[in-house]
Chain A
Amino acid sequence: MGHSEEFQKLEGKIFTKSFFILLSVVLLGFYFVGVRYVKGIGAVSNMSDGYPWGIWITYDVATGTAIACGGYAVAILVYIRNRMQYHPMIRSAILTSMFGYGLAGFSVMVDLGRPWNAYNFFIPSKWQANSAMFEVALCVMAYSTVLILEFLPAILTSIEKSKWDRMNAIRNWLHPKIAPDKKTMEDKLEMVRLGAAWLNPRLNKVLIFFIVLGITLPTMHQSSLGSLLLIASTKLHPLWHTGFLPLLFLLNCVFIGYSIAILESIISSYSFKRPFEIEELSGLAGLIPFVTVIWLTVVIGDLSYRGQIHAALKGDFYSGWFMTEFLLVAGGSLILFFKKCRRSARWLFISASMIVLGGALYRFNVYLIGFNPGQGWKYFPSFAEVMITVGIVALEILGYKVFVALFPVLPNMDLHGGHKKKGHAKKHKGAEKPLPQTEAHAH
């Protein structure tokens, strides 16, 4: 399991222009979070007693964790389906999952009215196993811990190899009177290094059990995210209210997970000016239609079973949103049936975006758009409410950028070339065309 050389740190500055732009967005968002804690949720959001869940739950939690399912989807592929050629993608997928889930947890703390009572989740006498929310909460907390453990090897490895340049620079910058003694500091840092060196191989030995836990937990809570709305039988539009909600949410997060892993890889290759990992991507892309076709079949089958096909074709507000969601997923999958499209970064980007959008829209439809509490209630998020969500997303991107520079996360390009050839020869024995984009951007 010692895959450390497989990954490398990203060379380059951390404090770039985009860093400060993102930082200012984050600060604005956190200003509104401050307002929320002083003046109440009503002061920053348009939520009401009719629409008690706004975009914080719909986007940050229900959709955000699906988008953060890249780690889940890739882990299934690598460890369960034994496709080790995808292993280079796993660290960046796990890192985004870690941020996605961590920040979903953070926005829940903003959204909860009485967060100081959240300790009740750990008191067995207060447990309420009938509640899908209880299951989601415990599972998400456990999964976030597992994600940190899964990412820990990257941190430990870089501690082991660190020369502590930054630490020494800070020490030198401090006034000699308050700066710690150089010798004791070095001793202590050496202790940390030894600790990391001791822990790393031991963690690696048991890591696989955490990884599998990291596959089991999302299977549970992603389906439960669908179960959450089962109870709203009088409020959720019949297009979406079905006993199959848990199954649909589970499948939905898997295809979103694979698509987001593709998008993530394309975007980070593009913005960090690294070659596209087209071989892995096209392989991933070949899997997506299997999942989406099952999902689409369940959706149609369930609608016709409940006699709601006419509601889907009615042409009203609800059927419009339903058709958009449905066609985005169907269209995106259709593109992926063509081998040529699967091998082009542009088409991959387009189809993966469509599937992610459609899949995310499905979750919005279930949580907000298809939700009608009765006459007289309206909801559209306020500026402050949106800014809190945007700030949290900006923090996620910011964290990703800092982490890939500090820790070995991205696939090692030198090694990756060799690695790729291996996978290549195994998978496509026939003749293949040279890939125009791949090596162009390498520096």
Chain B
Amino acid sequence: MKKTSRRDFLKLAGATGAGLLACGAGNALANEGLQVNNEELGMLYDATKCVGCKACMSACKRVNSDYGSLSYEKAKFDEDGLWDAPSDLSGSTRTLIKLFKESEKRWSYVKYSCMHCQKPSCVSVCPVSAMTKEKISGIVDYNKNTCIGCRYCQIACPYNIPKFQWEKAVPQIVKCDLCKATNLREKGITACAETCPAGAIKFGKRKDLLEEAHQRLKDAPDKYVAHVYGEHEGGGTNHLYLASMPFNKLGLPEIKPEAPAEFSEKIQHTIYKGFIAPVALYSTLCFIAVKNMKKHQGHDDDHKKGDK
């Protein structure tokens, strides 16, 4: 008796829960590939042209400081606070120039800011739609009035771009929004691209930027690593890179062409498709439990009669 019911139970558990989850995992392995929209806005950063003047950084902060709640960051040596000296992207800094120096001859600047992915992980994981991707421009935008501050976007972003204001009692997430509410609206170009004196940042549509990047690779193949970073990484990004050094040395991680969000969403969708599985599970369990309870009550009544 006992053995059969245990087997039944395991069968049931296997059929409902485990089967579904396993099938979710199986499905996720088969990639369908997502549609890339090359009409979206983006930027092409050419590390070989960058002179490291950081004009883009100060322009970004000047333009966006009020809107994005950015503040100046004092360096340790600078007691009077004369310079804005962020050491990394942070709750006060949306874009940053860094120098990677391997030797006296081999070095490169690199610019960090939001990659504006084709399939952004942060948008996929935000539980309250505070992170959104605009349909036409492709800008990955953040709305602090919806954000609950769970920081799941930070966990999810493979480039570690969204930053949190840890030191504030009323914090928010900070990340580049292509100057959507400021410079882009007023002048039609991002502040960093407008300011760059060396022409290292080119603003435009993704298809134009890709064309330009491949043209530059063709024109000077010796100068560059033969790869446009962001063309395929993580499903493709709208912020593209050219550089003379391997990209992972510049702090840009190696990412497979499949967007991480594709993988996770496929599993989640398989389990919760149409909410059928949870409802089926609930009704099956209800059926069993009610049946068991009736059996038990009958048993109890017999018992009481016996007592009397």
A: residues with CB less than 8 A from B are 1, 37-43, 47-50, 52-53, 79-82, 84, 111-115, 117-118, 120-121, 125-135, 137, 208-209, 211-213, 215-216, 219-220, 223-224, 227-235, 242-244, 246-247, 250-251, 290, 294, 373-375, 427
Contact = CB atoms under 8 A, between A and B. Distances in A.
Contacts, number: 215
B26, B155, B168, B281: which has the most chain A beta carbons within 10 Å?
B155
Contact of B166 (A48, A84, A127): A48
A209 B282 CA distance: 9
Interface residues of B, number: 76
A47 B2 CA distance: 50
**How would you classify the secondary structure of chain B's contact residues: helix, strand, loop or mixed?**
helix
A133 B152 contact: yes
Contact of B148 (A120, A229, A247): A120
Q: Which 9 A-B pairs have the closest CB atoms?
A: A113-B149, A42-B166, A243-B25, A52-B151, A230-B264, A134-B127, A114-B149, A247-B21, A52-B154
Nearest to B171: A113
Nearest to B260: A233
Given A40-B167, A128-B127, A247 B18 contact: yes
Contacts of A47: 166
Contact of B128 (A38, A126, A375): A126
Nearest to A53: B155
8 contacts: A84-B296, A117-B149, A125-B129, A130-B261, A130-B268, A135-B268, A231-B264, A373-B160
Contacts of A219: 17, 281
B282 A216 contact: yes
Contact of B5 (A42, A82, A128, A212): A82
B96 to A, nearest CB: 12
A50 B160 contact: yes
B158 A234 contact: yes
B190 interface: no
A427 B164 CA distance: 57
A440 to B, nearest CB: 30
Given A111-B150, A134-B127, 9 more contacts: A48-B166, A112-B148, A117-B149, A131-B127, A135-B272, A208-B289, A212-B285, A227-B271, A234-B255
B125 interface: yes
B126 interface: yes
Interface string B141-174: 0001111111110111010101111111111100
